[in-house]
Structure 1
Amino acid sequence: MVRGKIQIKRIENATSRQVTFSKRRNGLLKKAYELYVLCDAEVAVIIFSNKGKLYEFSSCDNMQNTIERYRQYKKDVQSNTPQIERYRQQLRLEAENMAKKIEFLEVSKRRMLGQNLGSCSIDELQEVENQLERSLRNIRARKGYLFKEQILQLKAKERYMQEENAKLSAKNNGTTCSQQNAEVETELFLGLPENRCS
């Protein structure tokens, strides 16, 4: 049988409230113990009933050690709060600056592509034109460099092919000379194969 969801609100019946408190308290303390054992965590739980009775669990021998550690942690966090706030402010400023730079670069890119030029002044248009001319010079210089590299590679390949061709020609000439010097005897027969034997 599946339990339905209960509504989280104060239980009006005192007996039911005490039973629920007892069960849930034991469950909470059991979970705290399991967390300590399974995860090797330092765990402390303090519970006061509505009648003021104290229930506690501590994974270390002394609850006071855990409380002192908690107080020291809170003090450290509070003392570091100004540093953390300064760091957050610095990150916020850096993010704003980056957003402005990105927006500026996007506007510049659109202008380079010839978009949204209607709102540009003559000076801005002159700057875009100068930038395009500088970019074009850089592109042409790079293209010329790549062409020269390609020409050098092709010339090196041409020399290599000429050397290989010369080697093959020399080798072929030696073979032709030896074939011309050797006498080859050939006979020519006409007619059907039976006539050859006679």
Structure 2
Amino acid sequence: MESHPLPPLIGKFVDGVSTWETLDRTDFSVIGYLLSCHLILESYIDEYIQAEAGKWLDFSRARLSFSQKISIINFPDIEENLDFMPALAHMNNLRNKLSHNVRYKISTESVLPLIHFLEKSRGSKLENRDPISVIGAFTSFVGAWFAAMYVRIKEGKDVDRRAAFERWISAHYPGNPRGA
């Protein structure tokens, strides 16, 4: 795909002169990756909510925000080390920051809540703390979780959640039991 230069942002007004801020140092691949991961997770969340609501409620017409969607989800029996909801809310905050400020930089520090969750869920330190790797691993975990919950609803409540989770991970990340 051919890249076209983007217009600069309006900078400060200095000594009666307008200045312009170029975006040539902006890493659009990180922005695009985070936004893509967010959209992927939102699609899983949408399917899960609709499956959980059943045929009587149509959540697609409610036009809920991502934040509203995750606020209505409750997993009361989730193990503490697998409770990804606070980290998911943080990922949404990162997405909101990028959506409103193209200059915002995703750093290892900015994804620390995701790192802490992944380390807690795995019981070991993450070797690769690169933001893209962290975001990808977190997206894989949360996507697998919602996929497992969806399967459990669609195939029957007696489907073991952990087995459905592991089955999804194995199918989509062969040779790697945790997806990343």
| TM-score (ref. length: structure 2) | 0.20
Higher relative contact order (CA 8 A, sep 6+): 2
Report the structure, 1 or 2, having the larger helix content.
1
| TM-score (ref. length: structure 1) | 0.19
